[in-house]
Amino acid sequence: MLSRNPRHQRVCEKFMNDQLLQALEQIEEEKGISRDELLSMIETALAAAFRKDYGEKNQNVVVKFDPENMGVKVWDIKTVVATSEEAAEDPQKLIDVEAAQEMKKKAQVGDEISTDITPKSGTNFGRIAAQTAKQVIIQKLREAERNLQFSEFKSKERTLVNGVVQRVEGETVLVDMGKSTGVLFPSEQIRGEKYSLGQRLKVLVLHVEPAAKGPKITLSRSHPDMVRKLFELEVPEIYNGSVEIKSVAREAGSRSKIAVIANQDGIDPIGSCVGQKGSRVQTVMAELGGEKIDIIEYSDDPVKFIANSLSPAKILNVQLDEDAKEAKVGVLEDQLSLAIGKAGQNVRLAARLTGWKIDINGEKIEGQTENSEAESQNEEVAESPEEAS
């Protein structure tokens, strides 16, 4: 209770004001919630408490709170609609134009009619009303925190973040990222990679969805953008835009291909990504558990780009069917297995990288054909000396 001594009462009110302002500043700093939003929560809580102890039927209670002097004004606010039938749909918030004009002569449809319902004798909230106000503030604080977390991590989609393995549930891994926890599903993990409690690792924020208990954050280590973002971290030329990664094709845990191009003269895009003695690409490979990475030069000429993408195989010719977006590629027969790769991996990654369907055929060059025929004849002669004589 406040003292009856006016001077003592003013001192107490000032002390309470200072305490409230300090509390608001502390919450604003710790939770990252703005002062206006905090005041809105207090007003909502006071409105809920007022409805408990003083509210009447069909009142739309809105409280205006002034933290400087602890003053509270309570209003019943309604929106003016054309007919009483419309107003009957939500009598708590709507009022028909005829009834509104009795209160305010110039009232029109769409206006707001505010009626001051602040008790003249002041308010003295009971225990239940106070508890209601407390619950409203706690609920609003939690909602604001969840919205803040969602906005923060939503802005980080398709970026790399550092995390610590918090828990492993079967094949699913939960990663602590400080303010929230993300989920690394089996389908987004690198094949064969093992995770242990407390392990630090880089993960890609794949997508973020709102949920009742906070944002649902799906992480990935197998997405192609994981390779792209790691190179952005390791290669300054990519970060500043002088070298650009045009496309990435990846089979996580096994092999990746990236196509790069220089946006400035005098820069070697492949050399920039490889680094001195391979230091940059080796750092990326180490982060990905030893995954092999082929770095090729991008070209606007699809023939050259397709030929580059099938590296390390040497290409004889490329024939394009632009309507079907198919490419027939000729290679030497001894290069056929190298162009296709183990289990077709090389040509499969090249197709993803270029966006063309690639069909590889083994060919022989003319000189090689004549030599092989001469060799076969010599072999026949050696085997049949009587026929040769």
Q: What is the mean pLDDT of the chain?
A: 82
245-289 tens-digit pLDDT: 999 999 999 999 999 999 999 999 999 999 999 999 999 999 998
Most confident listed range (80-94, 209-223, 247-261): 247-261
Within-domain flag for 274:
yes
Within-domain flag for 283:
yes
Within-domain flag for 4:
no
* 338 in the same domain as 291: no
In the prediction, which pLDDT does 133 show? Answer: 65
CATH (domain of 365): 3.30.300.20
In the prediction, which pLDDT does 178 show? Answer: 85
pLDDT band at residue 14 using 50, 70 and 90 as cut-offs = very low
Q: Of 165, 186, 220, which residue constitutes the final position of a domain?
A: 220
295-347 tens-digit pLDDT: 999 999 999 999 999 988 889 999 999 999 999 999 998 889 999 999 999 99
Within-domain flag for 14:
no
* 347 in the same domain as 292: no
* 161 in the same domain as 216: yes
In the prediction, which pLDDT does 7 show? Answer: 47
Within-domain flag for 357:
yes
pLDDT band at residue 387 using 50, 70 and 90 as cut-offs = very low
Within-domain flag for 193:
yes
For 75, left (φ over 0), alpha (ψ -120 to 50), or beta? beta
Q: Of 172, 201, 220, which residue constitutes the final position of a domain?
A: 220
* Count of the separate structural domains present in the chain: 4
pTM of the model: 0.66
Is the pLDDT at 120 greater than 90, yes or no? no
* 237 in the same domain as 185: no
CATH (domain of 206): 2.40.50.140
* 229 in the same domain as 201: no
pLDDT band at residue 35 using 50, 70 and 90 as cut-offs = confident
Name residues whose C-beta falls within 8 Å of residue 159's C-beta, 6 or more positions apart in sequence: 204, 205, 229
For the record, the structure tokens of 15 come out as 């002390």
* Integer Cα distance of 33 and 42 in angstroms: 13
Pick from 242, 244, 286: nearest CA to 264: 242
- What mean pLDDT do residues 196-217 have? 91
Within-domain flag for 354:
yes
* 354 in the same domain as 329: yes
Structural domain that includes position 108: 55-118
**Burial per residue of 114-149, b for 16 or more beta-carbon CB atoms within 10 angstroms, e otherwise:** eeebeeeeeeebeeebeebbeebbeebbeebebebb
In the prediction, which pLDDT does 13 show? Answer: 44
Give strand pairing partners of 315.
331
